[in-house]
Structure 1
Amino acid sequence: MIFSIILIIIFLGFGFYAIKKIVDLQKTVQIEKFLQDFQEDINKMWKSPQGSSVKSYSLPTKIRSVCFEDDEFQNLAFTSEEIIRGDKIENINIEKITADEDPFCIPNIKGKISLTIVKDYGETLVRITK
């Protein structure tokens, strides 16, 4: 009888552990999907002569904002209670993006961020605006 109770407790413990790991993995996949989709949208605008496109992306609610900063190793960072790896986004004009505020942050509202990807005629790099 006691052995059965111990086994049930062990199985429940492993079950909760597995569920937590799956949820953490889902959040990591969501962040990686954002980075990939965002870079693809930047590249599409970069290849066009000019344009402006409002984009909305889903992120885990644990991320408070997405920030663009003038840094040689990474120009995109996440603000969160946890440490989350940022990334180096190619083909953006980080000097113009961070001209007024460095870092330039876009808030995560209920798991969504919305930003505008802009490229004016004659520009070689893309800008991000709110």
Structure 2
Amino acid sequence: MDLTAERHSVPLSDGNHIPLLGLGTYGDPQTTPRGTVLECVKLAIDVGYRHFDGALVYFNEHEVGQAIREKIADGTVQRKDIFYCGKLWNTFHPPELVRQALERTLKALKLDYVDLYIVELPMAFKV
């Protein structure tokens, strides 16, 4: 398989594609300097990454979203080229809290949608 920016994804059953290579965006909010994730995601897009893994509890989705929006604005990619995977944190497992958590993620990213939204851990924390 030729792993290039254009050819490193596999088709899903709904016709969409998921890139095989993804960049995890976790950075310790106590020690990671502001702007680090922003610059890393922009560089990753420049070198061909199209899949980004993030979470509300990483406290940096605003930087990930800004990087994606900037690379869309400069013409490097279109939104449809990016695959963003967000995560539902353990305190939001009750069904009535899931949409609220997803909306917080979308607001932080300033994007209209995420491509995949998964449960961070298969156990809930007490709310």
TM range (shorter): under 0.3
Q: Does 1 or 2 have the higher relative contact order (CA < 8 Å, sep 6+)?
A: 1
Max Rg structure: 1
Q: Which has the higher strand share?
A: 1
